[in-house]
């Protein structure tokens, strides 16, 4: 019996998202690096506010293996206040312009405002990541006009109130039905299914039990026939389960990312790129090794 030596991770059939001319290959799990340009993010608020610091951080994440950089100018942590359109534009547009010149991977914008979506696309952003699933007035029309991929996320309530007392009869069924409905709205509006991604919204109007149930049953979202994005990095569910502060949640975040990948996630959105990337690539290598060994033995 021979050892299974490390080898390039096996490819799997999957879509390639055209992110404004920059491809995001989902034939293997993609790692989305989080870049907050806000003063009040729960994890790294104010750290990468200036464009030069943002570019420095983005380049480091690409070096660590990030496949796409997600830029957000409005905190969506529980209880976070809203940000005026102009202020969000001033935060994200200079950063996106600088990133597009500096990094070789796609850049996405984390925003629910159609004005920000349009300005970000003009600056070079290649994907819209919307925690409101295009429910803001004019957002569907903006996404249709921009012809960029869109990630539709589920959130019960809004950031200011979402964690007060979230309730579901069947969290998986309700979240899945919501996302199915938003996909149908997009398709009717002229946004092709192959431009859509869904995110069940871990931590957005869910308690610990809801989040764990969503993760256990994440594979049930495959029926939506679009890629699944999972954002679990440093989330409060880790604090609730393990009693850890934000700066001590790296290992648990990596474990949750692996659970998400095993249950069908094609994109993981993370703060800590290198440990997550390494863990996922090893998971893929083991899966590939198992397939090769099985083929050899048959």
| Mean pLDDT of each 10-residue bin along the chain, 298 residues long | 42 78 96 87 49 91 98 79 89 95 97 98 98 97 98 85 79 98 98 98 95 98 98 96 96 98 97 97 83 36
pLDDT score at 8: 44
Specify if 275 maps to a domain: yes
At residue 288, the pLDDT reads 83
**Does 11 map to a domain?**
no
What CA–CA distance (Å, rounded) separates 4 from 26? 25
**Does 142 map to a domain?**
yes
Neighbours of 5 (CB within 10 A): 7
The CA distance from 16 to 19, in Å, is 9
Would the pTM of this model clear 0.85, i.e. be above it? yes
2 belongs to a structural domain: no
- Gap between the Cα atoms of 25 and 22, Å rounded: 10
Asked, for residue 52, whether it belongs to a domain, the answer is yes
What is the structure's pLDDT at 148? 98
Which pLDDT does position 39 carry in this prediction?
74
Range of the domain at 188: 16-297
Specify if 1 maps to a domain: no
Please classify residue 13 by burial: count the beta carbons closer than 10 Å to its beta carbon, then call 0-12 exposed, 13-18 middle and 19+ buried. Answer: exposed
**Beta bridge mates, 31:** 268
The H or E element containing residue 244 is: none
Question: How many residues are present in the chain?
Answer: 298
CA dihedral (141, 36, 20, 151) positive or negative? negative
Is residue 10, in this structure, part of any structural domain at all?
no
What's the total number of domains in the chain?
A: 1
Half-sphere exposure of 54 (CA within 13 A, CB side): 29
**Residue 234 located in a structural domain:** yes
CATH of the domain at 25: 3.20.20.20
Report the catalytic residues: 235, 269
């Amino acid at each position: 019996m021979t050892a299974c030596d490390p080898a390039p991770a096996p490819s799997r059939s999957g879509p390639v998202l055209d992110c404004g001319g920059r491809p995001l290959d989902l034939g293997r799990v993609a790692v989305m690096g989080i870049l907050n340009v806000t003063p009040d993010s729960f994890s790294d608020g104010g750290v990468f506010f200036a464009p030069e610091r943002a570019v420095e951080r983005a380049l480091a994440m690409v070096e660590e293996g990030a496949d796409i950089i997600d830029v957000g100018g409005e905190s969506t942590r529980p209880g976070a206040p809203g940000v005026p359109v102009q202020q969000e534009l001033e935060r994200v547009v200079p950063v996106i312009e600088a990133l597009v010149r500096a990094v070789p991977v796609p850049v996405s914008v984390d925003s629910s405002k159609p004005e920000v979506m349009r300005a970000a696309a003009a600056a070079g952003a290649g994907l819209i990541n919307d925690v409101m699933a295009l429910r803001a007035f004019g957002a569907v029309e903006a996404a249709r006009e921009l012809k960029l991929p869109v990630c539709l996320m589920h959130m019960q309530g809004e950031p200011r109130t979402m964690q007060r007392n979230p309730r579901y009869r069947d969290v998986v069924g309700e979240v899945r039905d919501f996302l199915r409905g938003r996909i149908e709205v997009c398709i009717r509006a002229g946004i092709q299914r192959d431009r859509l991604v869904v995110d069940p919204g871990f931590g957005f109007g869910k308690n610990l039990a809801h989040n764990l149930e969503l993760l256990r049953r994440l594979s049930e979202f495959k029926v939506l026939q679009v890629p699944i994005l999972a954002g679990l990095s440093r989330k409060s569910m880790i604090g609730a389960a393990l009693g850890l502060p934000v700066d001590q949640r790296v290992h648990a975040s990596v474990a949750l990312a692996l659970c998400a990948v095993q249950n069908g996630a094609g994109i993981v959105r993370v703060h800590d790129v290198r440990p997550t990337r390494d863990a996922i690539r090893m998971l893929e290598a083991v899966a590939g090794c198992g397939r090769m060994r099985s083929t050899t033995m048959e």
